Amino acid sequence: MMSEPLKVGVFGAGAIGGYLGLRLAAGDADVVLHGRPWLAEVADELCAFDLEGKRFAPKVRVVTDPSALSDVDVCLVTVKSAQTDGAAEELSRVLAPGALVVSFQNGMRNAERLRQVLRQQTVVPAMVSFNVVIEEDRRFRQATSGPLSAGRVLGSGLFTLERLEACFGRGGLPLELHHDIGNVQAGKLLVNLNNGVSAAVGMTIKDAVSNRDIRRCFAACVSEGLDVFRRTGLRPAKVVALPPAIIVKALPLPDAIFLRIAKPLVTIDPRAKSSTLQDLERGRRTEIDDLNGEVVDRAQGAGLAAPANQVIADVIHELEEAAVAQQKLPFLTSRELWARISAALG
């Protein structure tokens, strides 16, 4: 007798959630995407493209009412960090006891925020290290390379997590399971510090990493973050081809040297933009407080300073005010941003 397919709900299916849901459905999971009305309107046309351009167009159900997640085995949470508390309250009213909740969100605190409310479910922190863009409101395209990771759990949630791992594998998107997911998340956050840096100048990811002044800004942020994490008991893991300590040394190198090193290590679609820049362009608040702001908060809590990350957080907050007011975004030039950070570093 064939077993029932794994029932997976995706709460807050935007770029990441839609992509993960479609890849899981391609791996024989029974997937329901919870999202905005526009997503439901194009439910029959949704498809995903991996980094090589392979198309995945499995059938998924799309809903706007979270009660449709009441019978799922697994719920992926993919909302922005600022929406986590609200998501937890909504999910506490609909999820079945014992359901596995996987936080595929930026930042390092969201799983704990969910866990404080979802006491009858098993909450697992997880990490998406690649970028996804939505094209024409229906195509979810992976735009950068990187792994997908989740923390290991003990007890009854382990079997469900391993079933989820198997579905991702059948869908062609391997899920790596880690005992030290906190260090993996710290490593991911260091990489994500470039979200704010590239957004501050309004550049695509590829253009940003091709600009030496921007790489210097990024290196300063990563160096601070690495120091803060190490001094507060974390050992950030390698989540891209190079360890964080090597990235810090490589980023400031001249363009000809750095780009020769980086080309075989990472794939970046020329059109890919950071989620921070995408939020600004859509007139929304960003997750900067859970990225560069996280480094600043941890530094202050340890009696340290993180001036480069403070500059990035301040610049993005300035851009947010213009974004939500529907004004022209006052991006800095790469030279202006590096000058601000250089001055802050003294």
Buried (b) or exposed (e) across 315-345, using 16+ Cβ within 10 A?
Answer: bbeebbeebeeeeeeebbebeebbebbeebe
CA distance 329 to 217: 20
Domain at 182-345, CATH from 3.40.50.720, 3.40.1640.10, 1.10.1040.10, 2.60.40.2300: 1.10.1040.10
> Counting Cβ atoms within 10 Å, is residue 104 exposed (0-12), middle (13-18) or buried (19+)?
buried
Q: What is the pLDDT of residues 280-295, one digit of tens each?
A: 999 999 999 999 999 9
Evaluate whether 7-179 and 182-345 have a shared fold: no
Spans of all domains in the chain:
7-179, 182-345
Would you state the structure tokens that stand for residue 339, as one six-digit string? Answer: 């000058």
Q: What is the pLDDT of residues 219-245, one digit of tens each?
A: 999 999 999 999 999 999 998 878 899
Global confidence as pTM: 0.93
Of all residues in the chain, what percent carry a pLDDT higher than 70? 99
The per-residue pLDDT for 303 is 96
> Counting Cβ atoms within 10 Å, is residue 52 exposed (0-12), middle (13-18) or buried (19+)?
exposed
- What is the DSSP pairing of strand 175-178 with strand 100-104? unpaired
Mean pLDDT confidence for 245-269: 88
Does the pLDDT at position 265 exceed 80? no
Residues in the chain: 346
Residues linked to residue 103 through DSSP beta bridges, in sequence order: 77, 125
- What is the DSSP pairing of strand 175-178 with strand 148-151? parallel
Radius of gyration of the chain (CA): 20
Per CATH, which fold does 7-179 belong to? Rossmann fold (3.40.50)
Report the chain's terminal Cα–Cα distance, integer Å: 69
Is-contact 32 60, C-beta < 8 A?
Answer: yes
At residue 1 the predicted structure's pLDDT band, cuts being 50, 70 and 90, is: very low
At residue 93 the predicted structure's pLDDT band, cuts being 50, 70 and 90, is: very high
Is-contact 134 140, C-beta < 8 A?
Answer: yes
Q: What is the pLDDT of residues 151-191, one digit of tens each?
A: 999 887 999 999 999 999 999 999 999 999 999 999 999 99
The per-residue pLDDT for 239 is 87
At residue 2 the predicted structure's pLDDT band, cuts being 50, 70 and 90, is: low
